[in-house]
């Protein structure tokens, strides 16, 4: 599996509360629009409105699955690998902060993070969540694909910030 998907999942995991809030807000607005009939005045049929709501609900399902994938992948790792990935991605610590706090030289820390990412990626693949699955499941998600594109083009490479 390409490590950009591993990074994508970890980065998305760290942003789940914001993504979830955006989805919930979108659903709430669409539902309220339906109750007030605002969608008709904007030229949106009931079917179109329902379709938008269902798409957002499917996005919520995908977000819940990201949580499951990352939790499962992290729990399958040794404690030292899990700790590094959690510090870096979940708690969004900088390389410098991790290095200083844990007394790990920077070069060694880069190597250890790379190894932890590789092991995370292997665990996801072992569980059946390989590049093909993740591409099929998340490439159409406006929330996850945006993160993936940034990670893939190296505009957002959290492992080395």
Q: What is the pLDDT of residues 20-33, one digit of tens each?
A: 999 999 999 888 88
Q: What is the pLDDT of residues 66-117, one digit of tens each?
A: 999 999 999 999 999 999 999 999 898 999 999 999 999 999 999 999 999 9
Q: Is the pLDDT of residue 3 over 70?
A: no
Category of 37 on φ-ψ map: left (φ > 0), alpha (ψ -120 to 50) or beta? left
Category of 78 on φ-ψ map: left (φ > 0), alpha (ψ -120 to 50) or beta? beta
Q: Does domain 3-152 have CATH number 3.30.2010?
A: no
Positive or negative: CA dihedral 28, 29, 30, 35: positive
Query: DSSP character for 153?
Result: T
Q: What is the pLDDT of residues 107-153, one digit of tens each?
A: 999 999 999 999 999 999 999 998 889 889 999 999 898 898 888 76
Cβ atoms 66, 60 nearer than 8 A: no
Residues 6+ apart with CB under 8 A from 94: 161
% helix, strand, coil for the chain, step of 5 = 80, 0, 20
The pLDDT confidence band at residue 48, using thresholds 50, 70 and 90, is confident
Q: Could you give the angle at the alpha carbon of 31 between the alpha carbons of 27 and 36, nearest 5°? A: 150
Distance CA 85, CA 7 (A): 10
Q: What is the largest CA-CA distance in the chain?
A: 62
- Among candidates 18, 7, 22, 15, which has minimal Cα distance to 156? 7
Where exactly are the structural domains of the chain? 3-152
Mean pLDDT of the chain: 88
């Amino acid at each position: 599996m390409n490590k950009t998907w591993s990074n994508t999942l970890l980065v998305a995991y760290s942003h789940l509360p914001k993504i979830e809030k955006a989805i919930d807000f979108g659903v709430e607005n669409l539902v309220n629009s339906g109750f007030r009939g605002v969608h008709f005045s904007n030229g949106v049929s009931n079917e179109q409105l329902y379709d938008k709501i269902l798409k957002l609900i499917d996005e919520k399902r995908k977000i819940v699955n990201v949580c499951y994938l990352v939790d499962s992948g992290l729990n399958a790792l040794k404690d030292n690998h899990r700790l590094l990935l959690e510090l870096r991605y979940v708690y969004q610590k900088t390389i410098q902060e991790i290095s200083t706090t844990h007394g790990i030289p920077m070069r060694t820390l880069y190597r250890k993070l790379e190894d932890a990412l590789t092991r995370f990626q292997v665990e996801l693949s072992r569980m059946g969540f390989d590049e093909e699955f993740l591409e099929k499941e998340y490439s159409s998600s406006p929330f996850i694909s945006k993160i993936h594109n940034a990670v893939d083009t190296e505009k957002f490479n959290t492992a080395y910030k």
